[in-house]
């Protein structure tokens, strides 16, 4: 970042041009106000010289001040001040509106881009970083528009002032103008020193946001495992790093500011010294020296204003790079222009689908962890198919691909014979709905969480809740549908959140419904009631359900058994139970474990009874048996 005059300056000017293009009218008004301020500031110097020469000097010579002279002096100065203040107000108001409009515009663009990007892109970017992109980085990008209108406007002040100084006395102007190269060099050195420090501080702001977001998201884990001190220490480290970086920025500014402020003061003293000599020689009047000294003192301000812009440039460039990385991201998903058929049950097909997650190794290399391998399935319109398999077999990945949240690495997913990659953006969600195991609730009412802003009336909401077995508990809430559920549904239990999530999908009347273990948080009797009502209410809906419980599996027309990302078998529950050892072992695991526990408990009772009967005649082997059973 030590090449500020070339690389950073060029990139910063590009960011400024983009901002001006985004808010041309407000920026033009801000610059106009700044120009008025600059011109009137120079006019103030001329006015002071004119007042001294035509009103104050004659009054001093006469030894008296007339009322007319007082009114003239006050009126002229008041008029100059009034116009100057108008320029200042116009500059600040218009500049502030331009800056905040740009911030709001690009925050919306960033968040819209987040919604457009595929899930695979989000997997590679921490949520804290994304929050920082949408907030701190956007703010850093456009904060430069606070000093920018002033800096551009006061260039007019600089030009007018230099011309006026030269007109009054070229030699005295030369003495004064030698200070400006010194100011420029000091500002360049300041920016070279500040640029890397500001860049580091901006990056550390993102780190603080990432750590804070992780801690908030993992509040349950942190508290339940007693890791509060560890998280506090982790947050302390990044915040102290940010603190040290900001202190370094302030320390650097503290070293340069006195020198930069001293240069104009030294120049003013030089002008006064040389001006005094020229007055004594008869080349200038006292009023002219006062005018030039005042002009010189105010002309140092435009240089400082340009310095403020240069100080913001590195931060603006860093912020824009982080923002543009999001805006330019395309992900791996492309869209066509086709629509999926509406008004009928959907046929779902997967043809030799394979997918692997990318995993970064310690050396920085990207490895691939296969989740699905050559998966083929065919779900008939209106059928219910259960996807069963051990943990890590790829069930949730399959549900994600079917909903086209990610694309398969190879193979294709088709709905009604149409490859989902040929469907227009948003076309899949119009006919399909996914209910995941981990449900998300917005900080909104129950109604808002079910409708998600869609124009559904309360009758439809209650009907969907009734199918999801949620109408009863919602009716008992303090304000029923108007009850706020809190952030992430904090006021609801896990089962209640799942039932609202089910109602959220049911109310859309999807042609394809994908349930990823969506009833895991409710007890088996409620789950069976939900699935039975769902089957009745959605007789024309094609349902793909990731299932673990027997009650869910028995409601399916067909079962697909996954293991290690492959389809090992498919058919009815009875068929798989008789011919697929892995399936039989998985679905009977709970029953088998319950039987083993019952047998062990019965054996424990028999041994205990024998032990009581033969207590006086102990058998060491039986004692060992009892001890083992107790363990």
Q: Where are the domains of the chain?
A: 1-168+304-332, 170-283, 336-431+512-609, 439-509
User: Could you give phi then psi for residue 120, rounded to 5 degrees?
Assistant: -60, -35
Is 336-431+512-609's fold the same as 439-509's?
Answer: yes
CA 539 to CA 381: how far, in whole Å? Answer: 10
Mean pLDDT of 371-385: 85
Mean pLDDT of 569-589: 82
| pTM, two decimal places | 0.63
Q: Which of 383, 389, 494, 482 is nearest to 441 (CA)?
A: 494
602 — pLDDT class (breaks 50, 70, 90): low
Position 479 scores a pLDDT of 84
pLDDT tier, 5 (very low <50, low <70, confident <90, very high otherwise):
very low
Is residue 432 classed as helix, strand or coil in its secondary structure?
strand
pLDDT for position 224: 62
Which of 515, 570, 565 minimizes the C-alpha distance to 545?
515
Alpha carbons 179 and 295: distance in angstroms, whole number = 13
Average pLDDT over residues 525-539: 69
pLDDT tier, 548 (very low <50, low <70, confident <90, very high otherwise): confident
Strand pairing class (384-388; 558-563): parallel
For 425-473, the pLDDT digits (tens) are 888 888 888 888 777 778 788 888 888 888 888 888 888 888 877 888 8
At residue 620, the pLDDT reads: 42
Determine the pLDDT at residue 627. Answer: 43
What is the number of residues in the chain? 631
492-529 pLDDT per residue, tens: 777 788 888 888 888 888 888 888 877 766 666 676 77
Which tokens sit at 142? Answer: 């456009």
Confidence of residue 626 (pLDDT cuts 50, 70, 90): very low
β-bridge mates for residue 484, sequence order? 445
pLDDT of residue 457: 84
Question: Does the pLDDT value for residue 609 go beyond 60?
Answer: no
What pLDDT is recorded for position 592? 62
**Residue 68: per-residue pLDDT:** 76
Sequence-distant (6+) residues with CB within 8 A of 303 are: 158, 180, 183, 184, 187, 264
How crowded is residue 549: how many other Cβ atoms within 10 Å of its Cβ? 17
pLDDT value of position 217: 66
Per-residue pLDDT averaged across 105-118, rounded?
84
Q: Please give the Cα distance from 379 to 575 (Å, whole number).
A: 17
How large is the average pLDDT for residues 72-82? 79
H or E element in which residue 571 lies = strand 566-571
Q: Residue 404 has what pLDDT?
A: 85
* Position 611 confidence tier, pLDDT thresholds 50, 70, 90: very low
- Model pLDDT, residue 333: 73
Question: What mean pLDDT is predicted for residues 187-211?
Answer: 74
In the predicted model, what is the mean pLDDT of the chain? 76
Strands 418-419 and 410-415: antiparallel
Q: What is the CATH number of domain 1-168+304-332?
A: 1.20.1560.10
Average pLDDT of the residues in 42-68: 72
- To which residue do tokens 């020193």 refer? 193
- What kind of architecture, by CATH, is found in domain 336-431+512-609? 3-Layer(aba) Sandwich (3.40)
pLDDT at 500: 85
Across 273-291, average pLDDT: 75
Q: What is the pLDDT of residue 622?
A: 40
Topology of domain 439-509, per CATH? Rossmann fold (3.40.50)
Q: pLDDT exceeding 70 applies to what percent of the chain?
A: 79
């Amino acid at each position: 970042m030590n090449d500020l005059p070339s690389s950073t300056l060029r990139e910063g000017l590009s960011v400024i041009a983009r901002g001006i293009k985004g808010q041309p009218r407000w920026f033009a008004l801000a610059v106009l106000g700044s120009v008025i301020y600059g011109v009137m500031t120079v006019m103030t110097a001329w006015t002071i010289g004119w007042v001294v020469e035509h009103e104050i000097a004659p009054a001093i010579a006469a030894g008296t001040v007339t009322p007319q002279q007082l009114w003239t002096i006050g009126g002229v100065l008041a008029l100059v001040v009034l116009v100057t203040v108008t320029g200042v107000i116009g500059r600040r108001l218009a500049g502030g509106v331009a800056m905040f409009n740009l911030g709001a515009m690009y925050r919306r663009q960033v968040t819209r881009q987040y919604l457009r990007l595929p899930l695979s892109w989000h997997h590679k970017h921490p949520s804290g970083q994304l929050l920082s992109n949408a907030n701190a980085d956007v703010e850093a990008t456009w904060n430069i528009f606070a000093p920018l209108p002033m800096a551009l406007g006061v260039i007019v002040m600089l030009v007018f002032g230099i011309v006026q100084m030269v007109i009054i006395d070229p030699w005295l102007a030369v003495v004064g103008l030698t200070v400006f190269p010194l100011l420029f060099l000091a500002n360049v050195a300041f920016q070279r020193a500040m640029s890397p420090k500001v860049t580091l501080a901006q990056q550390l702001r993102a780190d603080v946001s990432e750590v804070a977001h992780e801690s908030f998201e993992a509040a349950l884990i942190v508290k339940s495992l007693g890791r509060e001190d560890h998280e506090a220490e982790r947050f302390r480290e990044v915040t102290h790093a940010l603190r040290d970086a900001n202190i370094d920025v302030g320390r650097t500014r503290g070293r340069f500011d006195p020198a930069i402020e001293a240069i104009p003061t030294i120049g003013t003293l030089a002008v006064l010294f040389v001006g005094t000599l020229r007055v004594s020689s008869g080349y200038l009047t006292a009023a002219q020296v006062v005018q030039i000294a005042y002009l010189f003192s105010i002309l140092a301000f435009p240089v400082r204003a340009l310095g403020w812009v240069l100080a913001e440039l590195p931060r603006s460039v860093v912020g824009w790079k982080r923002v543009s990385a999001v805006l330019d991201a395309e992900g791996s998903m492309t869209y066509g222009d086709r629509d999926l058929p509406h008004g009928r049950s959907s046929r779902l097909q997967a043809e030799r689908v394979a997918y692997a997650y990318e995993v970064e190794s310690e050396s920085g290399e990207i490895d691939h962890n296969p989740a699905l391998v050559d998966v083929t399935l065919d779900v008939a319109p209106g059928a219910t198919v259960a996807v069963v398999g051990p943990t890590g077999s790829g069930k949730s990945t399959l549900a994600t691909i079917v909903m086209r949240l990610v694309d398969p690495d190879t193979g294709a997913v088709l709905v009604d014979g149409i490859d989902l990659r040929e469907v227009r953006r948003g076309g899949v969600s119009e006919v399909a709905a996914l209910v995941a195991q981990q449900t998300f609730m917005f900080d909104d009412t129950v109604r808002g969480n079910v409708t998600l802003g869609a124009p559904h009336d309360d009758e439809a909401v209650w009907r969907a809740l009734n199918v999801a077995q949620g109408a009863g508990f919602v009716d008992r809430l303090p304000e029923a549908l108007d009850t706020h559920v809190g952030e992430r549904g904090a006021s609801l239990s896990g089962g209640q959140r799942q039932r609202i999530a089910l109602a959220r999908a049911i109310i859309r009347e999807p042609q394809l419904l994908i349930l990823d273990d969506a009833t895991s948080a409710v007890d088996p009797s409620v789950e069976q009631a939900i699935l039975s009502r769902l089957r009745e209410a959605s007789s024309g809906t094609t349902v793909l359900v990731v299932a673990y419980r027997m009650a869910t599996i028995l409601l399916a027309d067909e079962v697909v058994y996954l293991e290690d990302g492959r389809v090992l078998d498919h058919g009815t529950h009875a068929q798989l139970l008789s011919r697929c050892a892995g399936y039989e072992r998985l679905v009977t695991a709970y029953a088998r474990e319950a039987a083993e526990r019952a047998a062990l408990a019965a054996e424990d009772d028999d041994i205990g009874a024998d032990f009581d009967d033969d207590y006086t005649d102990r058998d060491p082997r039986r004692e060992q048996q009892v001890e083992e059973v107790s363990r």
